[in-house]
Amino acid sequence: MNIGIIGAGATGLAAAYDLSAKGHKVVVYESAPFIGGQASTIPVGGSPLERGYHHLFTNDKAILDLMDELGVGDTMKWYPSRVGTYTSGKVYKTTTALDLLRLGALPILDRIRLGLFALKVKRIKDWRDLEDQTADYWLRERLGGMAYEKVWAPLLKGKFGDYYDQIGMPWFWSKIQTRFASRQGIRGREMLGYPDGSFDTIFDELKNAIESRYGEIHTSTPVVKVDVVDGVAKGLVAKSTSVGEIRKDFDCVLSTVPSFAFPELVELPDDYKKRLTEVHYLAAVVVTLELSQPLTDFYWMNIADSEVPFLGLIEHTNMLPKEWYGSSHVLYLTNYLDRTDPIYNMSQDELLDLYLPHLTKFNPEFDRSWIKEVHYNALSAAQPVIGTKYSGAIADHRTPLKKLYLANTTQIYPEDRGTNYSIQMGRGLAATILGDEQQNWRNWQ
């Protein structure tokens, strides 16, 4: 088969890798000038660094298995994480269960309840029993008190803004399951993975493998239309900055674009289109600072305070060596926002003016002179808003048009979107496409 793939992120490349391994001709079109999607990199201090913070958990089996297949499994290294939480005007260490018992922002009984509550969620095995309840309601009813009001409520509101009370409980459940799976030892220290050479190590090998099998990957080449004849996807129309319009026939097409962008490429039946357009995405804004000094001692800083205008601080070089980045201390300031939020439309300088005064809350000695370089990245489709009874609302990977498939982050559930699950989905779609083709061949015979 000749297979056209829209998007060279984790999903598109993983699908292309498996399809090309089976002898099929794949052509991948990517609108950006780079591959890797949300795990793509920029040069910082002579080394590649992800535009948005990235790490793996110990149960991220799909990407770890793929790395082994690619021959780069030994580049994955595991590091102890150090987590802090900012609440009630103070930074608290919240790395282990013992740290929670020392969380002075809460009365002692609420601290105990907070620790036991996480264990309670971990023991829930079937997320389907949680589907008809929001995380906000479930946590208020079963945790409540200061533990909810001072910790989880601000974190939900910081992550989802006005949508915080619409998030289905399975989303929260999956977060707890993933976190506990990465805890090791008696003290429950979280271990996180990061590949030597950045996530480029994985995507460069994927690209090499695909191209070695005569597959093609075209960057800076957005697809503008899926050609459909009599209800069957027949090809793609793309626009290249170098050669202009490209029209190419394919035996089937896999799209990995966001749900709101997919109907712009192809006319779809109303019921399927409704499933796509009813899922709301939050955008992300990430400001990355190269600093001359560390801001904190923590890798991950949860911010449970509505007065701070960003969701979290991820101090990359508190887990990875600063020497990789020209001895700079790398700090991500991250935010999830509605695309209509004024902060989403701010320039880099405007964001700095808004954000930087708050950094003294985490380190009173912080000074703007510490900043050596600034990097800015915005994503229009970063986090789907996953509501209640979501399993019944997910758009099928097989679209109503024959030979046309869709795979994007709105279809990852109950797990939260992430590189591991995007790779798992891409490889699953490759198997689906091959299975459908085999069935079509049997029917034809």
Total domains, the chain = 3
Domain with 160 in it = 97-178
| Mean pLDDT calculated for residue range 68-83 | 96
In a domain, 61, yes or no: no
Distance, in Å, from the CA atom of 303 to the CA atom of 278, rounded to the nearest integer, reads 29
| Element of type H or E holding 122 | helix 108-123
Total-model pTM: 0.94
In a domain, 67, yes or no: no
Q: Are residues 267 and 399 in the same domain?
A: yes
| Identity of residue 437 | E
Distance, in Å, from the CA atom of 337 to the CA atom of 380, rounded to the nearest integer, reads 9
Q: What is the chain's mean pLDDT, rounded?
A: 94
pLDDT, tens digit, for every residue of 228-281?
999 999 999 999 988 899 999 999 999 999 999 999 999 999 999 999 999 999
In a domain, 116, yes or no: yes
Could you give phi then psi for residue 214, rounded to 5 degrees? Answer: 70, 20
Q: Which of 201, 157, 143, 203 has the alpha carbon at shortest distance from 16?
A: 203
Q: Which residues of 296-305 are buried (b: 16+ CB within 10 A; e: fewer)?
A: bebbbbbbbb
Distance, in Å, from the CA atom of 301 to the CA atom of 311, rounded to the nearest integer, reads 9
| Mean pLDDT calculated for residue range 22-27 | 98
Q: Are residues 416 and 367 in the same domain?
A: no
Of residues 177 and 29, the one with the higher pLDDT is 29
pLDDT, tens digit, for every residue of 145-195?
999 999 999 999 988 989 999 999 999 999 888 877 666 654 567 899 999
Distance, in Å, from the CA atom of 385 to the CA atom of 160, rounded to the nearest integer, reads 8
Question: Quick check: 68 and 301 in contact, CB under 8 A?
Answer: no
Question: Quick check: 101 and 111 in contact, CB under 8 A?
Answer: yes
Q: Which of 401, 390, 409 has the alpha carbon at shortest distance from 167?
A: 390
| Element of type H or E holding 434 | helix 419-444
pLDDT of residue 12: 98
- Count CA atoms within 13 Å of residue 227 on its CB side: 13
In a domain, 186, yes or no: no
| Mean pLDDT calculated for residue range 381-393 | 94
Distance, in Å, from the CA atom of 113 to the CA atom of 196, rounded to the nearest integer, reads 39
Q: Are residues 337 and 377 in the same domain?
A: yes
pLDDT at 91 exceeding the cut of 90: yes
Of 95-99, 136-140, 341-345, minimum mean pLDDT range? 95-99
Q: Are residues 211 and 267 in the same domain?
A: yes
